[in-house]
């Protein structure tokens, strides 16, 4: 029997909350500490380290499936782009953005996999090509789809 409460909450802490740095809104350094108010563990992980995120997610999954309740994972990372398409990021220092881009999680994982000889350059190229095609197809589908009826906004909404 699968336990009822198999929820893993993931907080992508990307330094900014809208156009303000998170520390302008709260004195709490780690959002994960807020999990204790709900009697569940809160775990902080480097969100730019895919293997570390995988590890803590796997542990949280095992915990949930054992019937031990939910977990809150706080993945610390950085938002390279604005809060929305109209956001020109005037509040984000360019050198800060550049420094975080140097810590790209995809590049980091690729380098680790290649270094450990777990994947080839050819296989990585194939994955990237397939991912780009999937995104292109999804964008095309969205752009070619009709707008939903306004009443659909209330479907599957429960209070």
* pLDDT tens figures, 3-46: 566 799 999 999 998 889 999 989 999 999 999 999 999 999 99
List 34, 63, 78, 83, catalytic entry: 83
**Catalytic pick among 34, 63, 79, 103:** 79
Quick one: pLDDT at residue 3?
Answer: 59
pLDDT score for 5:
67
Output the CA–CA distances (angstroms, integers) from residue 87 to 44, 58, 80, 92, 130, in the order listed.
28, 35, 12, 11, 30
Point out the catalytic residue in the list 91, 94, 103, 158. 91
- Verify whether residue 88 is a known catalytic residue: no
Residue 79: active-site member: yes
Q: What's the CA gap between 116 and 107, in Å, rounded?
A: 14
pLDDT class of 72 with cuts at 50, 70, 90:
very high
The verdict on whether 83 is a catalytic residue reads: yes
Q: What is d(CA 49, CA 29) in angstroms, rounded to the nearest whole number?
A: 20
Whether the predicted pLDDT of 2 surpasses 70: no
Task: Please work out, in degrees rounded to the nearest 5, the angle formed at the alpha carbon of residue 8 by the alpha carbons of 4 and 13.
Answer: 160
Model pLDDT for residues 100-143, shown as the tens digit of each residue: 999 999 999 999 999 999 999 999 999 999 999 999 999 999 99
pTM above 0.75, yes or no: yes
pLDDT band at 159 (very low <50, low <70, confident <90, very high): confident
């Amino acid at each position: 029997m699968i336990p009822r409460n198999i929820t893993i909450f993931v907080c992508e802490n990307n330094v900014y909350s809208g156009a303000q740095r998170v520390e302008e809104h709260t004195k709490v350094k780690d959002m994960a500490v807020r999990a204790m108010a709900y009697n569940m563990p809160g775990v902080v992980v480097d969100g730019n380290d895919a293997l570390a995120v995988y590890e803590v997610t796997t542990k949280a999954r095992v915990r949930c499936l054992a019937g031990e309740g939910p977990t809150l994972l706080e993945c610390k990372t950085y938002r390279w782009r604005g809060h929305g398409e109209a956001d020109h990021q005037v509040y984000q220092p360019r050198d800060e953005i550049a420094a975080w881009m140097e810590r790209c999680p995809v590049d980091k994982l690729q380098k680790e996999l290649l270094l450990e000889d777990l994947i080839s350059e050819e296989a990585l190229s194939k994955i990237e090509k397939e991912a780009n095609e999937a995104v292109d197809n999804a964008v095309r589908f969205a752009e070619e789809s009709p707008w939903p009826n306004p009443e659909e906004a209330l479907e599957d909404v429960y209070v």
